[in-house]
Amino acid sequence: MAKAAIIDGKQFAARLRMAIAAQVVQLKAEHGLTPGLAVVLVGEDPASQIYVRNKGLQVREAGMNSFEQRLPVTTTQAELLAHIADLNQDPAVNGILVQLPLPKQIDPEAVIAAIAVSKDVDGFHPLNAGLLAVGAAAMVPCTPLGCLMMLKEFAGPLAGQRAVVLGRSNIVGKPMAALLLREHCTVTLAHSRTRDLAEECRQADILIAAVGKAQMVKGDWIKPGATVIDVGINRIPTPDGKGRLVGDVDFDAAVEVAGAITPVPGGVGPMTIACLLLNTLTATCRQHGIPAPDVRPAAE
């Protein structure tokens, strides 16, 4: 059989950002509005600093306003909640993202619950999770939203397909399952206690791997021709000591079996930030009673 098509998430995300930037121009012209995203970083976690810098750059490139707040690692929960209360009230701020993980003195659930539901561009607030579960207009978490956009483009009509989601996190697995159900897939949510993971995966026309275990999904777990979306980002050791990023799927084996597959890096990752921009645009529109545009990646 021919090798799988490799889904170029980097290129797909660039096309999505172009389409978003065009909508931002239109929103300014027609309504005088510029979407604004506030990103709050507490402490100096090196990976988080890189994420936050990239988010700021891409927000500005899309024509939106970026507000970055860096708070010391010693910030108390009460201080952070006071910052969030200010951002909730600020009309220039349409989206709020508090970068995770937070220092240990701060309860992330309390912080997430304090963000205004309409400004929760991460889609982590329990009310947004509930709205998604009942199929209402929610803010949808960025990573599963990016996966869904890629599936709509590369997996053919979704209705009726068997989708297996590996991993039941609140950030990826659960919202991914809800989104696929909304698209009329037959959804299985599998996890570490699933009795025969390999056999469950073999049933999947669409397989989403989000377990955080390097190369756990083997080539013979994949149904020939399936669409495989790999959400994992794991660093594995290499002889030169630098390490190498791999996904949750054994890519070299899977590419021989699947119909289409996302690589790591360069698959799901770039789509996550692009979907953060999309959520910021959507939030801005909804806050002003303007219908949110159905943004699709620009043509190649």
CA angle 268, 271, 272 (to 5 degrees): 90
Nearest approach in angstroms of CB 9 to ligand GUN is 15
Site map (CB under 6 A) of ligand GUN, residues 44-83, x = contact: -------x--------------------------------
By CB under 6 A, tell whether 122 contacts ligand GUN: yes
Q: Which stretch binds ligand GUN (CB under 6 A): 94-102, 127-135, 214-222, 263-271?
A: 94-102
- What are φ and ψ of residue 151, in 5° steps? -65, -40
Nearest approach in angstroms of CB 62 to ligand GUN is 17
Q: Is the dihedral of CA 87, 88, 91, 94 positive or negative?
A: positive
Nearest approach in angstroms of CB 51 to ligand GUN is 6
- Two tokens at 69? 């707040």
Q: Is the dihedral of CA 116, 122, 126, 132 positive or negative?
A: positive
Nearest CB to ligand GUN, comparing residues 209 and 231: 231
**Site size for ligand GUN, by CB under 6 A?**
7
In terms of DSSP bridges, do strands 206-209 and 162-166 run parallel, antiparallel, or are they unpaired? parallel
Q: Which stretch binds ligand GUN (CB under 6 A): 70-78, 92-100, 205-213, 292-300?
A: 92-100
Q: Which residue has the tokens 């959507």?
A: 282
By CB under 6 A, tell whether 6 contacts ligand GUN: no
Nearest CB to ligand GUN, comparing residues 48 and 188: 48
By CB under 6 A, tell whether 97 contacts ligand GUN: yes
Nearest approach in angstroms of CB 264 to ligand GUN is 15
- Catalytic residue positions, numbered: 55, 99, 122
Nearest CB to ligand GUN, comparing residues 22 and 113: 113
Instruction: Please list the alpha-helical segments (H only) found in 208-267.
Output: 251-254
Question: Strand pairing partners for 36?
Answer: 65
By CB under 6 A, tell whether 99 contacts ligand GUN: yes
Nearest approach in angstroms of CB 273 to ligand GUN is 9
Nearest CB to ligand GUN, comparing residues 23 and 99: 99
Site for ligand GUN in 126-165 (CB under 6 A): 142
Task: For the beta carbon of residue 144, count every other beta carbon within 10 angstroms.
Answer: 30
For ligand GUN, the binding residue among 13, 42, 96, 98 (CB under 6 A) is 98
Q: How far apart are CA 127 and CA 264, in angstroms?
A: 32
For ligand GUN, the binding residue among 6, 100, 216, 292 (CB under 6 A) is 100
By CB under 6 A, tell whether 120 contacts ligand GUN: no
Cα–Cα distances (Å) from 205 to 156, 222, 274, in that order, read 11, 9, 26
Nearest approach in angstroms of CB 13 to ligand GUN is 14
The answer for residues whose C-beta is within 8 angstroms of residue 51's C-beta and 6 or more apart is 99
Closest to 222 in 3D by CA, of 240, 245, 198: 198
The answer for residues whose C-beta is within 8 angstroms of residue 250's C-beta and 6 or more apart is 215, 216, 217, 218, 219
Which residues contact ligand GUN (rule: CB under 6 A)? 51, 97-100, 122, 142
